[in-house]
Structure 1
Amino acid sequence: MSQLHPLLEKNAFQRLEETLALIKQNETLFILTDEHGCVMLTTDDEDGVPVWPDAELAKLWATEDWAHCEPMALPTKEFLSKWVVGMTQDDLMVIVCPVPGEEGEVISPEEFAQQL
């Protein structure tokens, strides 16, 4: 039996903290993509791009409507130099490490960049 990912047992704020630490350490974050590009997520009031600290967690989100999606690694430098600007212009938020049954913390791309 496979062991559950340790972040699955954390609340959204704890996942935010640990996700930031892992992304800093690995200098990589993960998004989900399909043939149309990056997967977007809509929470109660915000549209955003979900990000994860590893492919395994991103893959857990790739179910039902997103079953055809694949995790894609993004170097932190690329995210900071290209994505933050684009997401800010498009009024998109960063949704940090959503897990099945629970959305992640929603923060602005600028705030996310500052914490990285």
Structure 2
Amino acid sequence: MATPLDQTKIDNINQYDAEKRYQYLIKEVVANREIWILTDEHGCVMLNSEDEDCVPVWPNKEFAESWATGDWDHCKAEAISLNKWHSRWSHGLEDDELAVAIFPNQNEEGLVIFPDEFDFELKQQARKSK
């Protein structure tokens, strides 16, 4: 379980560009063995990029919860274990032709990658961390 982030750390991380947020997310997800999504009564919330339907993911509960405002104020942050992500989510997203929106910031900026690429990066980081 991750240590809660203080506001100063959250503010600093929010200044990261999309690539740096991606690197942070990979390290945090592997270290904490969980990835965060937002859910509502219909399941996982989705974003639409120019070309893809995406599932947004965050490295920490605090960042996921910060998106639960406005149209999404009824949503809840939910952790998915890294094992469950590898065993079910990656294949399920691929089968449904969905991409992953990596740690979108409040301006809805973030990298969009395919589930197999994301899975590969997570596994690479896990190998480095051993």
Give the TM-score normalised by the residue count of structure 2.
0.85
**Aligned counterpart for 1:3 among listed residues 3, 8, 16:** 8
For the aligned residue pairs, the C-alpha RMSD in angstroms reads 1.1
Query: What residue number does 1:111 align with?
Result: 117
**Aligned counterpart for 1:67 among listed residues 47, 50, 73:** 73
Query: What residue number does 2:126 align with?
Result: none
CA deviation map 1:12-44 (0-9, x unaligned): 110001100100111100000011110011011
SS in 1 for 2:66: helix
Q: How do 1:1-116 residues align onto structure 2 when only pairs under 5 Å count?
A: 2-3=7-8, 5=10, 6-116=12-122
Post-superposition offset of 1:99 = 1.3
- Structure 1 spans left out of the alignment, 5+ residues: none
Q: Give the Cα separation in 2 of the matches to 1:67 and 1:19.
A: 23
CA deviation map 1:45-68 (0-9, x unaligned): 111100001110001111111111
SS in 2 for 1:61: coil
SS in 1 for 2:74: coil
Query: Percent same amino acid at aligned positions?
Result: 42
SS in 1 for 2:14: helix
Q: Give the Cα separation in 1 of the matches to 2:108 and 2:9.
A: 15
Q: Would you say how many aligned residue pairs link Structure 1 and Structure 2? A: 115
Q: Give the Cα separation in 1 of the matches to 2:39 and 2:53.
A: 16
Give the TM-score normalised by the residue count of structure 1.
0.95
